[in-house]
Structure 1
């Protein structure tokens, strides 16, 4: 299964190579920060089927508001190119906030070759394989 950014048919994907049993900590919370509504919803639904609790934000500014309001995600899945506050600005804010600097971040972007963020725990180029994302989430939640 490959999730392609902005691809409306991505929900009719092949689950080849991905087990049907949810993995990881069932209480694990993932904040998905992605401006493409369809892709964000697809990722959120997929993560929920894997046992994760998911909160969505359409850009970095909304993600900041959620964190400042008390959201405590175990992992943040972050796009780089977004309106209002992009992923790089969000990641810089996050790493400079003592309350949030420890948060695990996976960057998923189609523009990684421009300049990969140094403060991310992991990066994935879009489109990415969900089984690799699942494995990385389980690793980061388990640390």
Structure 2
């Protein structure tokens, strides 16, 4: 990547501090600019601020507004409709996965996750954009 190319940006919505720290470290080490929202309220506020990111990494279980509500509201905004959304959550039931995909998620990874797999899925979604 050349110095003049902008860093791809990711909005990370994660309420668990340890996981957020790990994800930020992993993503920044691989050249991504990370904006962190620690709960559903902060995530919804980010929808109204500036240009959308290149990708949203979204937990399901969040304080105030859960990730599915955030996803639904995000997909209602024209500027955000093409932004890839990767759900990253401990909720592994088939019904949770199906609901997220029906609401517009592009991919679904369950915790605990493998860092290399997560990065590969992020890169794949960004290439498709």
TM above 0.5, yes or no, is: yes
**Alpha-carbon separation, structure 2, partners of 1:97 and 1:90:** 11
Q: 1:31 aligns with which of 1, 11, 29?
A: 11
Report the secondary structure of 2:34's partner residue. strand
1:70-102 CA-to-partner distances (Å, cap 9, x unmatched) read 142111110000110110100010111222122
The equivalent residue for 2:96 is 115
- The alpha-carbon deviation at position 126 of structure 1 amounts to 0.4
Q: 1:41 aligns with which of 5, 21, 26?
A: 21
Instruction: Point out 4+ residue stretches in structure 1 off by more than 2 angstroms.
Output: none
**Alpha-carbon separation, structure 2, partners of 1:137 and 1:46:** 12
Q: Given that residues 30 and 73 in structure 1 are in contact (C-alpha distance below 8 angstroms), is that contact kept between their aligned partners in structure 2?
A: yes
- The alpha-carbon deviation at position 26 of structure 1 amounts to 6.1
Q: 1:135 aligns with which of 104, 120, 127?
A: 120
- The alpha-carbon deviation at position 42 of structure 1 amounts to 1.2
Q: Given that residues 47 and 74 in structure 2 are in contact (C-alpha distance below 8 angstroms), is that contact kept between their aligned partners in structure 1?
A: no
Please give the TM-score of this superposition, normalised by the length of structure 1. Answer: 0.78
**Alpha-carbon separation, structure 2, partners of 1:60 and 1:94:** 11
Aligned residues: 119
Aligned alpha-carbon RMSD (Å) = 1.5
Report the secondary structure of 1:132's partner residue. helix
Q: Given that residues 33 and 60 in structure 1 are in contact (C-alpha distance below 8 angstroms), is that contact kept between their aligned partners in structure 2?
A: yes
- The alpha-carbon deviation at position 33 of structure 1 amounts to 0.2
Please give the TM-score of this superposition, normalised by the length of structure 2. Answer: 0.86
**Alpha-carbon separation, structure 2, partners of 1:112 and 1:97:** 27
Q: Given that residues 11 and 34 in structure 2 are in contact (C-alpha distance below 8 angstroms), is that contact kept between their aligned partners in structure 1?
A: yes
The equivalent residue for 1:68 is 48
Report the secondary structure of 2:64's partner residue. coil
